[in-house]
Chains A and B, each alone.
Chain A
Amino acid sequence: MSFIETYTPLLLSGLWATIRICFLATLLALPLGLGVTLLLRRPGRALPALARLYVEVMRGTPILVVLFLLYYGGPSIGLVLEAEPVGILGLGLYGAGYFAEIFRAGLQSIPQGQREAARMLGIPSWRILLRIELPQMLRLVTPPVINQIIVLIKESAALSIITVAELTKIGAQIANETFAVIEPYLAVALLYWLLIELIALAGHWLERKAKHG
């Protein structure tokens, strides 16, 4: 079928853009999410409140609104970026709110007594975090983190609205050119599905590896 021959390179470029954007957004969102989680545990009121506000705002706002705010509102605070960096930033900030929640739950499920035992031995809190909490937390959160990455991949379709040439945008573009609707979007759906299956497989592998030391 000539449709496939003609449009495969374009579709693959869209897939590559989606992979690149989601990878970079995740790379931003994971440490940022961890940072937010750690703020939640700081002494005092202000920093934890700020962290909670961040999570609430990101969870309560559609990704598209986050993107619009950054893309159209960004310039008014001096943030002028091209569509793709805005997309990565928006997706990263958005994802960080969810990752923070996942990390918080992960840390909470480590028995408090493990920390107390460490404190009684004089181990400083940053070492407790690094050596006792994080290794256990990362094992616990692998499944929900993978799940959230999959959600981010699907949410990244919203970047098509701010003209990023990612997979969904490419599908729409092909549909426009060919007046065919079914084929391009079926191809797009298939590629998303392949990507997500791959991530899920990698997740299972990670989980199994974590379980066996």
Chain B
Amino acid sequence: MKPEATDKPLIEIRNLRKRFGTIEVLKGIDLAIHRSEVLCVIGPSGSGKSTLLRSIAFLEAYDEGSVTFEDRLIGYREENGRRRRAGERELNADRSGFGMVFQHFHLWPHMSVMENVTEALRVVKALGRAEAEQIGREMLDKVGIAAHAAKYPEQLSGGQKQRVAIARALAMKPRVMLFDEPTSALDPELVGEVLAVMKQLAQEGMTMMVVTHEMGFAAHVADTVVFMDQGRIVERGDPGATFADPKSDRLRQFLNTWRERSI
């Protein structure tokens, strides 16, 4: 789905800066994500892709700039012109529109698949067991894992685990899904099943920001591709033009390296 240029963005990122110690990892990022847009972030290792995603979700506290979700500042409160960190409850409210999927799934190993998916529904939304499990089954169905609801994470393949993790995030009805290299920890033959679920989500109109090394996915599913290098966005645009005719040497180099590797 193409975002309309006139639409107000769902997420706006302005001059975002993040340091780890003295090293600046994000050097002033400006980015907007529109409703139903699928935005893929590509770039070499260490360029700051994960840090960007984690700063948007406020898993890392950014140092300067702002991230807003529907005009709501994420992670900070501004009072009398000063900023203070949001407290836990405030932060939970800020994040309630976000769903996040990690490279290494991070399922809770002592809980069954169904418990993983329903835990937050029961705790955060205070749903009863039956109601939570009904939503849980719907979500597991959506990612094609319903048959494994009673199993434990260790009994699943990597692709199945990641699909459970997606179902877990979806159960909370997020407005935007953030993916950090969701297929990078998977055996090659399992990548497809996860990408298929993500593609389906995109087609249903989910707003998605995906850090990925899967150029095929970026080319076919993304509305916008963002290329990062050394803490900056070097290039952005629709995938067709960006991949076919990179403006910067760095992106050209990056794509060439990728093409050589994938032959």
A-side residues, CB < 8 A to B, are 111, 113-114, 116-125, 127, 131-132, 135-136, 139
Q: List residues of chain B with CB within 8 A of the CB of A119.
A: 59, 92, 95
Q: How far is the CA of A111 from the CA of B123 in the complex (A)?
A: 21
B92 lies within 8 A of A124 (CB): yes
Q: Which of B99, B104, B120 has the most CB of A within 10 A?
A: B120
Asked if B168 is an interface residue, CB under 8 A from chain A, the answer is: yes
Instruction: Give, as a whole number of angstroms, the nearest-CB distance from A176 to chain B.
Output: 53
Contacting pair B110 A123 (CB below 8 A): no
Q: Specify the chain A residue showing the minimal Cβ separation from B57.
A: A120
Partner of B92, one of A113, A114, A122, A131: A122
CB neighbours of B100 from chain A (8 A): 116-117, 120
Contact with A along B101-122 (1 / 0, CB 8 A): 0101011111000000001100
Contacts of B119 in A (CB 8 A): 118, 121, 123, 131
CA distance A113 to B123 in the complex (A): 19
Query: Is B139 interfacial (CB-CB < 8 Å)?
Result: no
Closest B residue to A130 by CB, please name it. B123
Taking a contact as CB atoms under 8 Å apart, the answer to whether B110 and A116 are in contact is no
Say yes or no: A113 contacts B102, CB within 8 Å. yes
Assess the B106–A131 pair: CB atoms within 8 A.
no
> With A122-B96, A124-B88 in contact, do A114 and B108 touch (Cβ < 8 Å)?
yes
11 pairs of residues in contact across A and B, judged by CB atoms under 8 Å: A111-B106, A114-B107, A116-B100, A117-B102, A120-B98, A120-B100, A121-B168, A122-B120, A123-B119, A123-B124, A135-B110
A169–B186 Cα distance when bound, in Å, is: 62
Q: How far is the CA of A133 from the CA of B104 in the complex (A)?
A: 18
Q: A139 to B107: give the CA distance in the assembly, Å.
A: 17
Contact partner, A113, options B95, B96, B106, B120, Cβ 8 Å:
B106
The verdict on B165 contacting chain A, using a C-beta distance below 8 Å, is yes
Bound complex: CA of A131 vs CA of B102, how far in Å?
Answer: 20
Q: How many angstroms between the C-alpha atoms of A3 and B74 in the bound complex?
A: 77
B29 to chain A, nearest CB (A): 20
Q: Determine whether B42 belongs to the interface, using a CB cutoff of 8 Å to chain A.
A: no
Q: Which chain B residue has the least Cβ–Cβ distance from A128?
A: B123
B251 sits at the interface (CB 8 A): no
Within 8 A of A (CB), among B226-250: none
Instruction: Count chain B residues whose beta carbon lies closer than 8 angstroms to a beta carbon of A.
Output: 25
- Least Cβ–Cβ distance between A63 and chain B, in angstroms: 35
Expressed in whole angstroms, the Cα–Cα distance for A122 and B100 within the complex equals: 11
Which residues does chain A contribute within 8 Å of B124, judged by CB atoms? Answer: 121-123
Q: How far is the CB of A42 from chain B (nearest CB, A)?
A: 13
The verdict on B38 contacting chain A, using a C-beta distance below 8 Å, is no
Q: In this complex, what residue of A is CB-closest to B93?
A: A122
CA distance A128 to B40 in the complex (A): 31
- B209 CB–A CB distance under 8 Å: no
Give bound CA distance, A135 to B100, whole Å. 24
Most buried by B among A114, A117, A127, A131: A117
Closest 6 CB pairs of A and B: A113-B106, A121-B120, A117-B106, A120-B100, A122-B124, A122-B92
Contacts of A135 in B (CB 8 A): 110
Interface residue from B89, B107, B172 paired with A121 (Cβ < 8 Å): B172
Question: Is B169 an interface residue, CB under 8 A from the partner?
Answer: yes
Measured between alpha carbons, how far is A132 from B89 in the docked complex, in Å?
19
Bound form: Cα–Cα A139–B110 in Å: 10
A122 contacts which chain B residues (CB < 8 A)? 92, 95-96, 120, 124, 172
In the bound complex, CA of A120 to CA of B100 (Å): 7
- Cα A118 to Cα B106 in complex, Å, equals 9
Known contacts A117-B106, A122-B172, A124-B92, then 9 further A-B pairs from the complex at CB < 8 Å, ordered by chain A residue: A113-B106, A114-B106, A116-B106, A117-B102, A117-B107, A122-B92, A122-B96, A123-B123, A123-B124
Q: Assess the A111–B172 pair: CB atoms within 8 A.
A: no
A113, A121, A135 — most chain B CB neighbours (10 Å): A121
Interfacial chain A residues near B110, Cβ < 8 Å = 135-136, 139
Name B118-140 residues within 8 Å CB distance of A.
Answer: 119-120, 123-124
Contact B59 A116 (CB under 8 A): yes
Q: Which residues on B sit within 8 Å (CB–CB) of A120? A: 57, 59, 95, 98-100, 169
In the bound complex, residues from chain B placing their C-beta under 8 Å from that of A113 are 102, 104, 106
Q: CA of A31 to CA of B52 in the docked complex: distance in angstroms?
A: 40
Residues of chain B lying within 8 A (CB to CB) of residue A111: 104, 106
Least distance between A127 CB and chain B CB atoms (Å): 5
